[in-house]
Amino acid sequence: MIVSPLVPYLRLFKIISKEDEVLIEAAFERRLFNEGDYLFNPDNVCKEMFFICKGVLKIIMPDENGGQVIHFFLKENQFCTILRSFTNQTKVNEGIAAACDAEVLTISKVRLLKLYEDLPYLESVIDHITRQALLDKVELRNSYLGLNSTSRYQLFMKQQADIALQVSLTDVASFLGITQQSLSRIRRNVY
């Protein structure tokens, strides 16, 4: 059985018996990813959901220049998937990559649906967590609207300092929508 933070995290939302804990832990597979590894490649159908035990993942999209833009960072004790693709089984251009070395638990959609059959309450728990995470993402993204580069960086450091300590400056610049050179200048002037 995998010893992970998953069940303790789920217990924040619902009492889970030892028997159910065994079923939940057995349904997930532990995987390690190095910084830059893709967990899910763009232009595919996302068939897995991830729970982050250690590290930071990033949701990315290709930009018009063939590079990538980071839309979100996700950290420990968060679920991660491309929800539209995972739910509707459609191809999407978003991807998921490790922003630093990461340990995650993975579960396929097929195994998750089987787990929901075995533990019907679990679907509403995970749906609640996912809904709240989506609302948090929208609120976080909206908090950056209308801010200049320096203010976006300062807000990032205030709201997500724990992530800033784990990811590259290139990733921070991409998330903030600025060049790495601008970020270096901002950092020199701010500190």
- Name the residue range of residue 91's domain: 6-140
Tell me, yes or no, whether 188 and 96 share the same domain: no
Residue 111 within a domain: yes
Reported as a single tens digit per residue, the pLDDT across 125-167 is: 999 999 999 999 999 999 999 999 999 999 999 999 999 999 9
Residue 20 within a domain: yes
Residue 1 within a domain: no
Residue 93 within a domain: yes
Q: Which two tokens stand for residue 22?
A: 């065994």
pLDDT of 1: 46
Residue 49 within a domain: yes
Q: Distance between CA 119 and CA 115 in Å, rounded?
A: 6
Q: Which two tokens stand for residue 174?
A: 């991409």
Tell me, yes or no, whether 56 and 131 share the same domain: yes
Tell me, yes or no, whether 80 and 161 share the same domain: no
In this prediction the pTM is 0.92
pLDDT of 3: 62
Q: Distance between CA 59 and CA 80 in Å, rounded?
A: 9
Residue 26 within a domain: yes
User: Are the C-beta atoms of residues 100 and 75 closer than 8 Å to each other?
Assistant: no
Helix (H) or strand (E) holding 191: none
Reported as a single tens digit per residue, the pLDDT across 90-103 is: 999 999 999 999 99
Mean pLDDT of the region 21-42: 96
Tell me, yes or no, whether 98 and 48 share the same domain: yes
Provide the domain count of the chain: 2
Quote the DSSP letter at residue 114.
H
Helix (H) or strand (E) holding 16: none
Q: Which of 157, 155, 158 is nearest to 144 (CA)?
A: 155
Tell me, yes or no, whether 116 and 189 share the same domain: no
Tell me, yes or no, whether 152 and 166 share the same domain: yes
